[in-house]
Structure 1
Amino acid sequence: MDTTKKIFNKSSLLVPLVSIVLGLIIGAIAMLAGGYNPILAYTSLFERLFGSPYHMGEAIRAITPLIFTGIAVAFAFRTGLFNIGVEGQFVMGMTGATLIGVLLDLPWYIHGPLAIVTGALFGGLWAGIVGFLKATRGVNEVISSIMLNWTALYLANYIVAAFLLEPGQQKSRPIHASALMHIDWLIELMDRARMHWGTLIALLGVGVFYLLLWRTKQGYELRAVGHNPDAALYAGMNVNRTIVKSMMISGVFAGLGGVFEVLGVFGNQTIMAASPGYGFDGIAVALLGGNTPVGVLLASILFGGLSYGSSGMSFGAGVPSEIVRIVIGSVIFFVAAHGIVKYMLKPFMQKRSADKRKEAA
């Protein structure tokens, strides 16, 4: 490895920071071309994010489901699978938690945990269908999982309409208070922002992602099957069972994201005309984060912060939503295309390397 590469590795924060700045510059150019003030727009974005405890809390609330779905996609990637069905697993997690939250009335120390576990299992089993089809029939997981997204949406709508519907409404009956996951003292502290236990569980999920894949025998098998199924089979590993297991674990993470949307944010489930979109956003988050635990966390903060703060650009600077999406897309592009950024920084890094050699001499 040459000196320039070593400097890049030591300055690992430089590339993503420069990527974000470049994305914001491209966004500013787009706003100037449309006749809008980029300084006012970006000021409005940061005021939206940090201007009050309420907005800070709501930004955290918007980031939380992206952590879950980002982990779900990244986990599958790390085991050689492309779980594009995280959206459907997210919806099934919502549905499982809503069923328990509405139909049962139990003490809080049973009701809440039962709803969480049920929603997670719904997500895991829904992903398990994809793993089973791949393991037993060789069905490509991209095709089966994306088709199951639509199946999950319509099945969830049917369950709500047939068993849980609030009379005269297009949503389920309210989830019993004993199953809700609000953090009341933090809600008061954050000026009524919708804070819930899902944020803490999401952070724990990042740790579980790392420990499971890189610190356990099971994680080694999951990664080995993903890297080379034939070699794993030769080594005595049960490849088919591992594929199903990997998809189910990925689905559990996705299902948990859906669980806390209904138990921690809305308190009911609506009949949806379209999927929430968190699963597809999770694909972008996983790719931005390099399918690593810390990377997914940071990418979730970036993506969720930009998405929530972008409304401030619309209200505070009159920037239309189309240009706001250009800004977000530009930042994501440069963060994802870090090779371009490294190429742009290479002359600077080479000069810095030469200066260090002169100093050493």
Structure 2
Amino acid sequence: MTDPKVTQSEPAPGSTDTQLEPGQARNEVAPPSRSQQVLRDILGGSAMISVLAVVLALLAGGILIALTDKDVQAAAGYFFSRPADTFRAIWDAVAGAYVALFQGSIYNFRADDFVRGIRPLTETLKFATPLITAGLGVALAFRVGLFNIGGRGQMLVAAGAAGYIGFAVPLPPGIHLVVAVLVGMLAGAIWGGIVGLLKARTGAHEVIVTIMLNYVAFYLISYLLTQQWALQAPGSTNPKSAAMLPTAVFPKILGEQFNLHLGFIVAIAATIWFWYFINRSSMGFRFRAVGENPNAAQVAGIKVKSVYVWAMVFSGALVGLAGVNQVLGTVTSGFTATIDASIGFDAITVALLGRSRPVGVFVAGVLFGALKAGGYSMQAAQGVPIDIVLVVQSLIVLFIAAPPLVRAIFRLPVPGTAPKSRTRKLEVAK
């Protein structure tokens, strides 16, 4: 017979105690509370990794700014005699550069009035507009498991199509702008759809195909810009198009004193559409299913090849919208074959930083727009090379691609795991 006053229990997992006498204590791993588990998931989640990746990239950028600053280099020459001068020079260089970045991208607190002070923010949003739409296009392909790096080609053909409608096909106001936008998006959709069709029918890898189509689009648009019957401005010998007609230009939404135009509102609408399409539509469900596991989706009756084609069609249309924005919003006096301005490749970074989520891509696009707008201010005010901004962008990609490195640097927990050191004493009843 067992003494009813003694309560025995099985050893806890990981415990070295096998049998306890009455009155002894045992260490047992205690499960974390729900609030603690939620906090661990937030601290170790993808959103926190993205934020800290930006922080690390800015810190690395600060180091590069200090190393390339002439005053820092001069002060370092007599560091051991007057070390404070070197640290002061480092602070002045880094702080001055990032203050100039803020003033050039968010708010210029040295401006005479609020209108001039807020102008940098509108410039940031203007630069962010094509990055957002192109980033959404790349993110849409990511959600299906496709790697669309053909943004340059899709932007160029969309810009060429929309630009031709914009300067060569007069239409009534309102209708002209809508038709130019739709034709540009259609051209981008067709260029992206070629990739999806080749992958679905022949199994061709989308990375190789998109790279090749980038070159095809560049040389095609370059050729058309030298032909009077196509995109070249009448009477010109330069490879440049004619100026867009006023009826085909995105109107400015805050007045003539700002460059922010209707394209930003279109980018917001595209973000909302992306969220609804992926999370609420039946086709979006099929896209997500194929992205998670194409074999399981095939067994469930989803036509995976058809999804690949439509995914690249929609992806190309969104990326093409960025090219339309460049032609009808930013460059209204005519465009060249460099109209894409590396946005097609920057969109990959934006999609990665935004974790292929609509809100994340939108915020990432605004961040990169701020880096572009503020980079010119840094160069003008502090003499910081604009290449530093490119290095920061590249480092963001590097840190995002290595979440374990970021977790190790900041000692972040892994989501879904319990703390290792949480133990509690369990008393055995006497």
Q: Is the 8 A contact 1:288 1:336 kept in 2?
A: no
Which residue pairs with 1:26 in the alignment?
A: 60
Letter in 2 for 1:33: L
Q: Is the 8 A contact 1:160 1:172 kept in 2?
A: yes
Give me the TM-score of the superposition, normalised by structure 1: 0.88
Letter in 2 for 1:20: V
Aligned partner (choices 158, 173, 189) of residue 108 of structure 1: 173
Question: Separation in 2 of the partners of 1:14 and 1:238?
Answer: 36
- Which region of structure 1 is more displaced relative to structure 2, 33-42 or 91-100? 33-42
Question: Separation in 2 of the partners of 1:345 and 1:311?
Answer: 31
Which residue pairs with 1:187 in the alignment?
A: 255
Question: Separation in 2 of the partners of 1:109 and 1:301?
Answer: 28
Change (3 A) 1:154 1:118: same
Which residue pairs with 1:175 in the alignment?
A: 244
> How far did 1:125 drift?
0.4
- The reply to whether residue 48 of structure 1 matches residue 82 of structure 2 is no
Question: Separation in 2 of the partners of 1:130 and 1:324?
Answer: 32
Q: Is the 8 A contact 2:155 2:188 kept in 1?
A: yes
Question: Separation in 1 of the partners of 2:96 and 2:293?
Answer: 52
> How far did 1:180 drift?
1.0
Letter in 2 for 1:85: G
> How far did 1:307 drift?
2.1
Which residue pairs with 1:38 in the alignment?
A: 94
- The reply to whether residue 120 of structure 1 matches residue 185 of structure 2 is yes
- Which region of structure 1 is more displaced relative to structure 2, 305-314 or 46-55? 46-55
1:274-353 paired onto structure 2 within 5 Å: 275-334=340-399, 337-346=402-411
- The reply to whether residue 228 of structure 1 matches residue 293 of structure 2 is yes
Report the identity percentage. 35
Question: Separation in 1 of the partners of 2:307 and 2:51?
Answer: 38
Question: Separation in 1 of the partners of 2:373 and 2:400?
Answer: 18
Q: Is the 8 A contact 2:375 2:389 kept in 1?
A: yes
Which residue pairs with 2:40 in the alignment?
A: 8
Give me the TM-score of the superposition, normalised by structure 2: 0.75
Change (3 A) 1:16 1:127: closer
Question: Separation in 2 of the partners of 1:223 and 1:151?
Answer: 31
Question: Separation in 1 of the partners of 2:172 and 2:125?
Answer: 28
Change (3 A) 1:309 1:243: same
> How far did 1:342 drift?
2.6
- The reply to whether residue 90 of structure 1 matches residue 146 of structure 2 is no
Find the structure with the greater CA-based Rg.
2
- Secondary structure (helix, strand or coil) at the match of 1:61 reads helix
Which residue pairs with 2:278 in the alignment?
A: 213
Q: Is the 8 A contact 1:121 1:252 kept in 2?
A: yes
Q: Is the 8 A contact 1:84 1:283 kept in 2?
A: yes
Structure with bigger helix share is: 1
Change (3 A) 1:222 1:305: same
1:238-253 paired onto structure 2 within 5 Å: 238-253=303-318
Q: Is the 8 A contact 2:355 2:361 kept in 1?
A: yes
Letter in 2 for 1:46: F
Please list every run of 5 or more consecutive structure 1 residues that lacks an aligned counterpart in the other structure. Answer: none
Please list every run of 5 or more consecutive structure 2 residues that lacks an aligned counterpart in the other structure. Answer: 1-30, 73-92, 109-116, 425-430
Question: Separation in 2 of the partners of 1:336 and 1:198?
Answer: 31
> How far did 1:248 drift?
0.1
Change (3 A) 1:158 1:26: same
Change (3 A) 1:337 1:313: farther
Q: Is the 8 A contact 1:182 1:194 kept in 2?
A: no
- Secondary structure (helix, strand or coil) at the match of 1:204 reads helix
- Which region of structure 1 is more displaced relative to structure 2, 152-161 or 64-73? 152-161
Which residue pairs with 2:114 in the alignment?
A: none
1:57-101, Cα deviation, whole Å (9 max, x unpaired): 221111111101110111001011111111111111111111111
1:97-117, Cα deviation, whole Å (9 max, x unpaired): 111112211111211111110
Aligned partner (choices 323, 327, 333) of residue 258 of structure 1: 323
> How far did 1:300 drift?
1.0
- Secondary structure (helix, strand or coil) at the match of 1:171 reads coil
> How far did 1:330 drift?
3.8
1:181-233, Cα deviation, whole Å (9 max, x unpaired): 122x5133xx2x32221111111111111111111111111222233333323
Letter in 2 for 1:165: Q
Q: Is the 8 A contact 2:279 2:285 kept in 1?
A: yes
> How far did 1:251 drift?
0.4
Task: Let me know the Cα RMSD of the aligned residues.
Answer: 2.7
Change (3 A) 1:250 1:312: same
Q: Is the 8 A contact 1:153 1:275 kept in 2?
A: no
- The reply to whether residue 143 of structure 1 matches residue 199 of structure 2 is no
Change (3 A) 1:5 1:332: farther
Question: Separation in 1 of the partners of 2:423 and 2:158?
Answer: 56
Which residue pairs with 2:267 in the alignment?
A: 202
